[in-house]
Amino acid sequence: MMLLTPYNSIPYLLHNEHKLISSEDILEDKYYAHYQQGFSRNTTIVINSEDNNKQRYFLKQPRYFEEKNIETLVIEAIIYSYFKDNPEVNILLPKFFFYDDVNIILGVECLNPLYGFIDTFSITNTQKIFDENSLKLENQGNQMSILAALTLKKLRTHKDFTRKEIESKTRNAWIFDKGFKPTVLTFTNNDRKKVLMSKESEMVQIGEFVNEEEVIKNLSSLKWDNSYLIHGDIKLDNLIYIESDVNKLKIVDWEFAAFGDYRWDAAGLIKEFWKKWEPSNSRFSDLYKYRIGLTNAFLENYLDIAHSNFKEETNIILKMVGVHLLTLLFESISIFKIEKDALDEVLKDIRQLICDSESVLN
């Protein structure tokens, strides 16, 4: 098995069966390769060209060849392969080139945004592209929210994303059979008690929250429908803004795709506006300030506002936002410390989202 590096990735594209790079391109040094910055479970290589007319490539291979890492890459490859011939959906993804099941390498188009999605609309402390005026910032944030809503709505309403359609068209649907449901929604009484027994004070504080009778009642009654294919990890970093693209947005990183509830993806985007514990220097720290307007803008464009079940769907999605935030809290506590007062404020928001969703947007 070949281990992917910047040094062998360009020859690899020349010699593999797809021959995406020519020997002339290599002789003329038209391509160069480098690791993508940031740590992940995968080795990711970006192959660039100084010639703007040349295709750019993004290669991905598991960093460690453990079963789970291989499975997530296979899932992503299946998604790209399944939708490559469907123009309505395929425009939402980077272009798919190949999946090499011998070397376990996925090859797709490398997108080239000038700025990330969030930076484009200036809801950031590190790159203010537009006027600092707060009203203008909020309006630009609403544009971002609306564009994300319209993009995710295409996934929600497309018939090919139903479990029945996928199982009828691909032999690989078995890999999704496990389905997905957030761990928080599968908690037993014993699970909740174990959280209370933690040695970390922050985890005990969260444990007290998940053991509240009202929280248990609302989580256990939350509707969950496993009949749709979902992205599973929708967040602003997985939405790439391409100004020249007809659809404007591309959705990347499909490793956690699964059969689940389509509202989970919508809630995943909205939760980005509610992450109050983000460090003050985070690119997302301005979002919390405008969370109500951004949430309203998203929901009004994602759902049919005139439909009779608009209010019910809104409340379910807001409860799922609370579940997303609670899930993130469990993950964050093991990475960095959250002060008690800050954690109290976060849990207050989560309590409102889960237990009193009707009051959130009022």
Q: Looking at the structure, tell me whether residues 68 and 149 fall in a common domain.
A: no
Q: Per-residue DSSP letters for 299-353? A: HHHHS-TTSTTHHHHHHHHHHHHHHHHHHHHHHHHTTS---HHHHHHHHHHHHHH
Residue 293 belongs to some domain of the structure:
yes
How many distinct structural domains can be found in the chain? Answer: 2
339 lies in which domain range?
117-359
Backbone angles phi, psi at 108, to 5 degrees: -135, 175
If asked whether residues 160 and 45 sit together in one domain, one would say no
- At 32 the three-state DSSP class reads strand
Closest C-alpha among 325, 328, 327, 302 to residue 314? 302
Domain of residue 79, CATH code: 3.30.200.20
* pLDDT at res. 97: 94
Question: DSSP per residue over 141-182, as a string?
Answer: HHHHHHHHHHHHHHHHH-GGGBHHHHHHH-GGGGGGTT----
pLDDT in tens, the chain (362 residues): 899 999 999 999 988 777 888 888 777 778 889 998 766 789 999 999 888 788 899 999 999 888 888 988 988 998 898 888 777 788 889 999 999 989 999 999 998 765 667 766 654 443 443 344 455 556 777 888 988 999 999 887 666 666 666 666 555 555 666 678 999 999 999 999 999 888 888 899 999 999 999 999 999 999 998 888 899 999 988 998 887 766 778 999 999 988 889 999 999 999 999 988 766 666 667 788 889 999 999 999 999 877 779 999 999 999 999 999 999 999 887 777 777 888 999 999 999 999 999 999 98
In a domain, 21, yes or no: yes
The pLDDT value given to residue 187? 93
Of 91, 109, 127, the last residue of a domain is 109
Domain contains 315? yes
Q: Are residues 154 and 62 in the same domain?
A: no
Q: Are residues 127 and 179 in the same domain?
A: yes
Q: Tell me what pLDDT residue 354 has.
A: 98
In this structure, what are the phi and psi dihedrals at residue 221, rounded to the nearest 5 degrees? -95, 0
Last residue of a domain, one of 76, 109, 142: 109
**pLDDT of 340:** 81
Q: Are residues 82 and 200 in the same domain?
A: no
pLDDT of residue 124: 44
At residue 50, the pLDDT reads: 80
pLDDT of 322 reads 98
CA distance 37 to 21: 23
Of the three residues 55, 87, 109, the one that is the final residue of a domain is 109
What pLDDT, on the 0 to 100 scale, is given for residue 171? 58
Contact 170, 161 (CB under 8 A): no
Do 196 and 208 form a contact (C-beta atoms < 8 A)? yes
- pLDDT at residue number 17: 79
Whether 86 and 126 map to the same domain: the answer is no
In terms of domains, do 140 and 102 share one?
no
Residue with tokens 């509202």: 263
- Is 161 found in the same domain as 88? no
Residues 109 and 79: their CA atoms lie apart, in Å, by 14
Q: What is the pLDDT of residue 300?
A: 92
**208 located within any domain:** yes
| CA atoms of 303 and 323, how far apart (whole Å) | 20
CA distances from 335 to 182, 187, 224, 328, 338 (A): 20, 22, 29, 11, 10
Tens digits of per-residue pLDDT, 293-340?
999 999 999 998 777 799 999 999 999 999 999 999 998 877 777 778
One domain for residues 95 and 193: no
pLDDT of residue 175: 62
Same domain (yes/no): 283, 167: yes
- Domain with 163 in it: what CATH number? 3.90.1200
* CA max distance for the chain: 69
Q: Report if residue 271 sits inside a domain.
A: yes
For residues 284 and 187, membership in a common domain is answered with: yes
Reported as half-sphere exposure (CB side, CA atoms, 13 A), residue 201 has a value of 7
Task: Report if residue 227 sits inside a domain.
Answer: yes
Q: Identify whether residues 148 and 204 lie together within a single domain.
A: yes
CA neighbor of 78 nearest in space, from 160, 176, 12, 4: 176
State both tokens at 268: 């995943």
